[in-house]
Amino acid sequence: MAEVMFAVMPFSGHVAPMRAVVRAFAAAGHRVRVYTGSAHAEAFRADGAETVPWVRAPDFDENDPARTFPRLRGRKGPRQMIVNVEDLFVRTGAAQCADLTAAFDTRPWDVLVADSLSLGAHLAAERTGTPRVTVSLVPLATPSPGAPPPGLGLRPAASALGRLRDRALWAAISAASRPIQRAFHEQRALAGLPPTALTFQEALYSRDLVCASGVEQLEYPRPEWPGRIVWVGELADHAGNGIPEPAWWPESVADPRPLVHVTQGTQNVDPDDLIRPTFAALGRQQVQLAVATGVRGNSALPFPAPANARVADLLPYDRLLPRVDVMVTNGGWGGVLAALRHGVPLVIAGGDLDKPEVAARVAWSGAGVNLRTGTPSSRAILRAWRRISDGADYRAAAERIGAALRRHDGPGEVVEHTEALLAARR
- 392 CB-near residues (< 8 Å, 6+ apart): none
Residue 351 is predicted with a pLDDT of 82
Residue 140 is predicted with a pLDDT of 85
Task: Evaluate whether 3-234+408-425 and 249-406 have a shared fold.
Answer: yes
- Phi/psi region, residue 268 (left: phi>0; alpha: psi -120 to 50; beta: rest), is left
Residue 239 is predicted with a pLDDT of 62
Residue 9 is predicted with a pLDDT of 95
Band of the pLDDT at 175, cuts 50, 70, 90? confident
Domain locations along the chain: 3-234+408-425, 249-406
pLDDT at 211 over 70: yes
Mean pLDDT of the region 171-188: 89
Please write the tens of the pLDDT for every residue from 283-329: 999 999 999 998 888 888 999 999 999 999 999 999 999 999 999 99
User: Looking at 234-238, 239-243, 302-306, 326-330, which range is the least confident one?
Assistant: 239-243
Mean pLDDT of the region 199-214: 93
Strand order in the sheet with 324-329: 309-312, 288-292, 259-263, 324-329, 346-348, 368-370
- What architecture does CATH give domain 3-234+408-425? 3-Layer(aba) Sandwich (3.40)
Please write the tens of the pLDDT for every residue from 58-82: 999 888 888 988 888 765 656 667 7
Task: Please name the amino acid found at residue 75.
Answer: R
Mean pLDDT of the region 254-261: 97
pLDDT at 146 over 80: no
| pLDDT greater at residue 240 or residue 61 | 61
Which CATH number applies to 249-406: 3.40.190.80, 3.90.280.10, 3.40.50.300, 3.40.50.2000?
3.40.50.2000
